[in-house]
């Protein structure tokens, strides 16, 4: 879709989110998070596990509400989930009772658009390389194929923002590299804003415009690192490796500020 002005800019102001544990103790998942994401930008969130990256993504998706602070998409407050902010999980979570075509068409079907946009659905299935599998059921697909179907299911709604929660975490290394390239291709083609949570430093550097490194509980933004490497990026270039070393150093530092948590 051709848009006159690019949409999909996100602004987060003083976001705070706490969870109550069964014993009544409150755990702060996010504390005072301020972030601005430009339209069409590719941003990665990286940090130690349990630091609230996924919580932040769920807030953006509208699946949870922050305790305080404001989240806006194109200056409109985010109050509930909606198709303009599609979320892709680590697990493809395709609906097993629907065929691949019906899965991809789901978002349009609930908006009663699936009849007029038939060709578009097929286009997106082709875009992710699943042509010929329209009538297959999810259990007949491999992990990588299912994840691509999940990607198509999100993209067919023309989301302004695509939220990716460790989308390739469960894939083997070879498939993951392929999927990363495919994601970049789709991103270039559609210039959707992408926000990705990942554990993989290489993946973050390879894909993102900016990398947001988060600190563990309570999660704050530790550092925002712009990736100034020209695309297509080569994972062996010195710039790449340098940046990688730097991020790893920050993560290490962030992990050990209070106390050493693990000895290996």
Residues 94-123 close enough to bind other proteins by CB under 8 A: 95-98, 106-107, 109-111
- For residue 24, give Cα distances in angstroms to 19, 27, 192: 9, 9, 40
Q: How many whole angstroms separate alpha carbon 109 and alpha carbon 153? A: 11
With a CB cutoff of 8 Å and minimum separation 6, the contacts of 116 are: none
How many residues bind other proteins (CB under 8 A)? The answer is: 47
The encoded tokens of residue 15 equal 């976001």
CA 41 to chain centroid, in Å, comes to 12
Position 173 contacts other proteins (CB under 8 A): yes
CB 243 within 8 A of CB 225: yes
Between 157 and 208, name the residue whose CB sits nearer to other proteins.
Answer: 157
Instruction: Report the nearest approach of other proteins to the CB of residue 97 (Å).
Output: 4
List the x/- string, 218-237, binding to other proteins by CB under 8 A.
Answer: -----------------xx-
Q: Give the residues across from 165 on adjacent strands.
A: 197
Nearer to other proteins, 176 or 220 (CB): 176
Shortest spacing between CB 208 and other proteins, in angstroms: 21
Residue 27 or 241: the one with the smaller Cβ distance to other proteins is: 241
Q: Is 171 in the site for other proteins (CB under 8 A)?
A: no
Residues 259, 182: Cα–Cα separation, whole Å: 40
Contact between 61 and other proteins per CB under 8 A:
yes
């Amino acid at each position: 879709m051709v848009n006159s002005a690019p949409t999909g800019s996100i602004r987060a102001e003083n976001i705070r989110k706490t969870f109550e544990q069964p014993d009544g103790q409150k755990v702060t998942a996010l504390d005072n998070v301020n972030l601005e994401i430009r339209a069409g930008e590719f941003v990665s969130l990286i940090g130690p596990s349990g630091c609230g990256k996924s919580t932040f993504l769920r807030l953006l998706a509208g699946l949870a509400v922050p305790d305080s602070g404001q989240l806006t998409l194109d200056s409109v407050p985010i109050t509930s989930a909606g198709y303009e902010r599609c979320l892709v999980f680590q697990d493809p979570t395709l609906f097993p009772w629907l065929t691949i075509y019906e899965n991809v068409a789901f978002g349009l079907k609930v908006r009663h658009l699936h009849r007029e946009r038939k060709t578009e659905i097929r286009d997106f299935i082709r875009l992710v390389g699943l042509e010929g599998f329209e009538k297959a059921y999810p259990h007949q697909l491999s992990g990588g194929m299912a994840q691509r179907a999940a990607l198509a299911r999100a993209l067919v709604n023309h989301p302004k923002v695509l939220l990716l929660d460790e989308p390739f975490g469960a894939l083997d290394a070879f498939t993951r590299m392929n999927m990363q390239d495919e994601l970049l291709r789709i991103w270039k083609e559609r210039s959707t804003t992408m926000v990705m949570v990942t554990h993989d430093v290489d993946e973050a550097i390879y894909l993102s415009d900016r990398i947001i490194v988060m600190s563990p509980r309570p999660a704050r933004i530790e550092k925002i690192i712009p990736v100034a490497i020209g695309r297509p990026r080569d994972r062996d270039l010195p710039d790449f490796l340098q940046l990688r070393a730097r991020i790893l150093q920050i993560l290490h530092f962030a992990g050990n500020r209070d106390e050493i948590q693990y000895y290996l």
